[in-house]
Amino acid sequence: MRTQVAIIGGGPAGLLLSHLLHLQGIDSVVLESRDRGYVERRQRAGMLEQGTTDVLRESGAGERLDREGLVHHGLELRFGGAGHRIPLTDLTGRTVTVYAQTEIVKDLVAKRLADGGDVRFETEVVDLDASAPSVTFRDAGGATHTLECDYIAGCDGFHGVSRPAVPGLRTFSREYPFAWLGILADVPPSTEELIYANHDRGFALHSLRSPQVSRLYLQVSPDEDIAAWSDARIWDELATRFATDDGWKLHEGPITDKSITPMRSFVAEPMRHDRLFLAGDAAHIVPPTGAKGLNLAVSDVIVLARALTERYATGSDTLLDTYSSTCLRRVWRAEHFSYWMTTLLHVDPAADDFALRLQRSHLDYVASSEAAKASLAENYTGLPIG
């Protein structure tokens, strides 16, 4: 078996890379360990930067996004019993769009299969060679195959096989003393724009999935037992943390999914070894507060697709040679913004009164300073790619 680019991982990063390469006449094979149903149901991020929506539209994969995505022109910081709107579009000229990762994956799978793409589900990668590029994998029937290629893209997430195949990696990480308890609920959202709430009892986020489905989060302990959180307790705690002095009400409804997600920051450098290139969660993780995880994965594969296109079109390795440094500039900026948003809004259980007063002062500053609002808006809607 042979292809030009072997892509390990059939999430949004791997699928989008395959689609972008196809548009440039470059062949690829996508190898995904899970079955198609699992991949298309996997709950993940849902806030898209302007650059992410632009590339999906320009690549022809944005039809349903344009029809069903919820475009936002602002967000709300809520603390001290009051809301403070950050007018994203007024400050940057850009928007963000709520459109679940599950839907992006469905769109890209359908697009690749309709275009004759080679997407192989239930394939376990057992070995890879970055120097004489090849990937050995076991298919759903247990048969072993070797896929020879020119390049390998490791888009297989934090726990995948690609990152361990890069020798001499330098890693940077931070664990946070809290986690998110997230729910999906069949209830119309109580807000038209996201609400990021800081409360003495902890952080809360009101997001959206559709006009009929709400996505909400609570700060909890990393070792929290989800069984201890009944639906009634979750709604009571959300109502407490979102409460305002003007009597704002939270809509409640049936909870269809609940989970607890730990919070971490992680970066691996470099993002390339020989002909193996890491992208997305295989190379970096951000806490979800800044809504950067999916968007960083997309920016990585945009940069990689451009570099591979140049290589096949002109024979030049220039963009491939600068892939890691180009991506890492944006990664570290997003890491800092995500860290900043996380520490700005969450309550550190070890914080003393002095630290809590500093946090409130910082929130007051962001809510009242046009310069601070503009900085938040610029980072939140997305910096230039590449």
Instruction: Provide the annotated active-site residues.
Output: 72, 196, 288, 292, 380
Beta strand 124-129 pairing with 82-86? unpaired
CA 280 to chain centre: 8
Cα distance between residue 347 and residue 359, in whole Å: 9
Cα distance between residue 351 and residue 377, in whole Å: 27
Cα distance between residue 303 and residue 198, in whole Å: 36
Question: Would the CA dihedral through 226, 230, 231, 234 be positive or negative?
Answer: negative
Cα distance between residue 284 and residue 281, in whole Å: 5
- Two tokens at 344? 């700005």
Q: Specify whether the CB–CB gap between 40 and 105 falls below 8 A.
A: yes
Greatest alpha-carbon span in the chain: 65
Name the CA dihedral angle for 177, 295, 122, 270, rounded to a multiple of 10 degrees.
-80
Q: Tokens 């300073």, residue?
A: 369
Question: Would the CA dihedral through 180, 183, 184, 187 be positive or negative?
Answer: negative
